[in-house]
Chain A
Amino acid sequence: MDILSMKQWSPYAVGIGIGLLNCLAFLLSDRYIGCSKAFSDGFGAIERLFKGSRVLEKPYYRKFVPQIDWFLMLVIGIVFGAFISARLSGELQGVWVPSLWAAHFGPSVAGRFFAALAGGFCVGLGARWAGGCTSGHGISGTIQLAVSSWLAVLCFFVGGIITAALLFKIL
C-alpha cells in the first residue's frame, strides 16, 4: 500500500517526525513550534479592524505583537499539510458531529457547535494564561526540560482527563 495514502501512520513514526521538525525550527528559525500565539494575533487583527491601530497599545499586544509572522505562517502551513494528508488518504469529508460525541450526546449539530465553542474558549484562554499549548509547552517546552512546560502539560491532561470522565461517565 502506498504510504502517502495510508489513513494512519504508526504514532512512533509520526512522533519522530514531529521531534525532528522541532529541531529544524530551532536550527533554521531560532524558534519553537507553538500554535496558540496565532490566535491572540487573530483576535488582535479583528479588533484592529473595528477599533483602529490604537488596539496595538494594549500591554499584551505590545508584548506579543499581532502581525504576519513565523507563528502565523506555521498555523497556515498546518492547514495545507493536514489538507494534503487527508486528500491523499481520501479523508476529506464534511462532518459536523464527531462519531464519539454523537454516540454519547446525540446527533444535534447545535449541541456540538456550542460545546466546541465553549471548549475552544477555555482552550484559547487557558493556553495564553499558561503561556503555551500542547505544542508550545507539550513538545517544544518539555524537550528543553523547562519546568513550566512539564507542569503545564501535566495540568492539561489532569484537567482534560477529569473533564472527559465527568462528561462521558457521569453526564
Chain B
Amino acid sequence: MGGELFMLSSIRSNKSLQLAIGLLIGTGFGFLLQKGGLTSYDVIVGQLLFTDFSVLKTMMTAVITGMIGVHLLKSAGVINFHPKQGSLGATIIGGLIFGVGFALLGYCPGTVVGAAAQGSFDALFGGIAGITIGAGLFASLYPRLEKSILKKGYFGELTLPELLKAGEWTIIIPLCIMIMVLFIFLEKSGF
C-alpha cells in the first residue's frame, strides 16, 4: 500500500508525464464523446427537446460508474476529492446562463472541440470563439462579481452526505437505483 501511494505521488508530481496523461485522457474522452454522438448538434438539441435521450443516458451511466468508482478509490485511500465550491448566486445564475447558451449553440465546452475536429464549422468558428470571449469576459468581470453576486447564498464545498446528514453509500445506492429505473422506463417507452 505504501509503495503504491509513493508510485502514485511520483506520477502525479511529474509535470511532463502529467501533460501526457492529460492528453491521453482527453483523447479517450474525445473518442468516446464522438462515438456517443455527443459531438452532434442534433443529438444535444434533441435531448433538450426530448426527442433523443443519448445525452441523458450517457451522462447518467457515467455518473453511476464514476460515483461508485471514485468512492471506492477514496475508501481505499488512494485518491482525494475536489468538490467545487458553490453559492446560489454563482451556481444558479451561472448555470442558467450556461443553459441558454447550451440550447443556442448545441454543444458544450468539451463537445464543441470534438465537433470542430469532425468538421462542424459552426462549432469551430462560432462556438469556440464565443466560449472563449464569454469566458474572457467573466475573467474581466470577476473582481466586481466576486464581491457581490457570486457571494450570495454561499455554501462552499458542501456535499450531499453533509447536507442530508447521511452516509455516502446511503445516497449512492438509491441514486443508482433511481437512475436505472429511469433507464428501464426510457427503454420501455421506445427512447
- Assuming the contacts A15-B57, A43-B133, A119-B101, asked whether A26 and B70 have C-beta atoms less than 8 A apart, the reply is yes
Partner of A11, one of B42, B54, B106, B117: B54
Q: How far, in whole Å, are A130 and B158 apart by their CA atoms in the complex?
A: 15
Q: Contact mask B105-123 → A, CB, 8 Å, 1/0?
A: 1111111111111111111
Asked if B118 contacts A93 (CB within 8 A), the reply is: yes
Q: How many residues does chain B have at the interface if contact means C-beta atoms less than 8 Å apart?
A: 124
- Assuming the contacts A126-B95, A155-B91, A155-B99, asked whether A28 and B11 have C-beta atoms less than 8 A apart, the reply is yes
- Nearest CB of chain B from residue A145's CB, rounded to whole Å: 4
Asked if A19 contacts B61 (CB within 8 A), the reply is: yes
Interface of B is mostly: helix
Within 8 A of B (CB), among A73-125: 73-86, 89, 91-101, 112-125
Partner of A147, one of B33, B54, B118, B160: B160
Q: How far, in whole Å, are A147 and B126 apart by their CA atoms in the complex?
A: 32
Asked if A128 contacts B105 (CB within 8 A), the reply is: no
- Nearest CB of chain B from residue A104's CB, rounded to whole Å: 10
Partner of A28, one of B21, B37, B127: B21
Inter-chain contacts of A100 with B (CB < 8 A): 41-42, 45-46
Within 8 A of A (CB), among B53-94: 53-54, 57-67, 69-70, 73, 78-86, 90-94
Chain A to chain B contacts (Cβ below 8 Å), 7 pairs:
A11-B58, A12-B183, A60-B140, A92-B118, A98-B106, A125-B94, A134-B111
